[in-house]
Amino acid sequence: MSYQILTDSCCDFTDQQYKENNVSCASLTVTYDGVSRTNFADPTAVKAFYDQLRTGTMATTAAANPDDWAQLMQPILERGEDVLVLAFSSGLSTTYQSAVIAAKELREEYPQRTIHVIDTLCAALGQGLLVHFACRKRDAGMGIDELAAWVEENKLHICHWVTVDDLSHLKRGGRISATTAIVGTMLNIKPIIHVDNDGHLINSAKVRGRKAAMEYLVKKFDETAQDKQTVFIAHGDCPEDAAALEAMLKEHGAKDVTTGYVGPVIGAHTGPGVLVVFFLGSHR
């Protein structure tokens, strides 16, 4: 029985990656300059978004709603295929809950079809990495039930290690105090953040300087990576730092490294200069 994998735009795939992986997505939205836009991944447009943030522009975000998910799922179910949804972390958005609502209603309309909705507890290209692995297993012939079980068993092994360059966005989001932001900026403090087992962004450490922050990310890769073959890097319009991080990771055994942007929905909360490494590890 054939099935389709669906995700949402917080996996930060480009249009080409969606096409290559044969995956469709529900879009979250980002609003700035008085205009609401679906979350986008075109590199030129994302760079322009970060340039806007640097001028002081404020952006707000909104989750995908049940109708967004239903519009994706219904045509697939109608043509007799099943659906596996891999959704943005419930610890950061209501997007997953919206998919659950849509699936419940559609199961009543299509009782013969299978719909799995999984809370990935992942974000950005960490979610993208999990989608990548799921697509490889689908392409190798794994059935929908077996794949859903595999994703549930492995999602907490997708490690997200983050360093943030601009503390003002963490302050605006209430993750740090105004005093901490001011003092941290003066002392060149760079917070290290990771996504925990509940899918929340958690402060993990503080280091001094960008180089030390990048070295910390590499140290975590060394300590916990189970699979150094496939690694994703995401950045908030700091391609030179992303390239430097890639070189450092390859010195420590990383093989196939894919680099992309942190998209606007997540970038609105982390700001320009955010830098993240994602990999399959022993634990988060």
Please count the structural domains in the chain: 2
Q: What is the mean pLDDT of residues 144-167?
A: 95
Structure confidence at residue 188 (pLDDT) = 78
The CATH number of whichever domain residue 264 belongs to comes to: 3.30.1180.10
pLDDT for 201-254, tens place per residue?
Answer: 888 899 999 999 999 999 999 999 999 999 999 999 999 999 999 999 999 999
Domain of 95 in residue numbering reads as 3-155
pTM over the 0.75 mark: yes
Whether residues 180 and 204 share a domain: the answer is yes
Give, as one character, the DSSP assignment of residue 174: T
Run of H or E including 226: strand 225-235
Whether residues 132 and 99 share a domain: the answer is yes
Whether residues 145 and 176 share a domain: the answer is no
Whether residues 144 and 253 share a domain: the answer is no
Structure confidence at residue 14 (pLDDT) = 95
Whether residues 251 and 170 share a domain: the answer is yes
- Give the pLDDT band (50/70/90) at residue 171: low
Whether residues 46 and 117 share a domain: the answer is yes
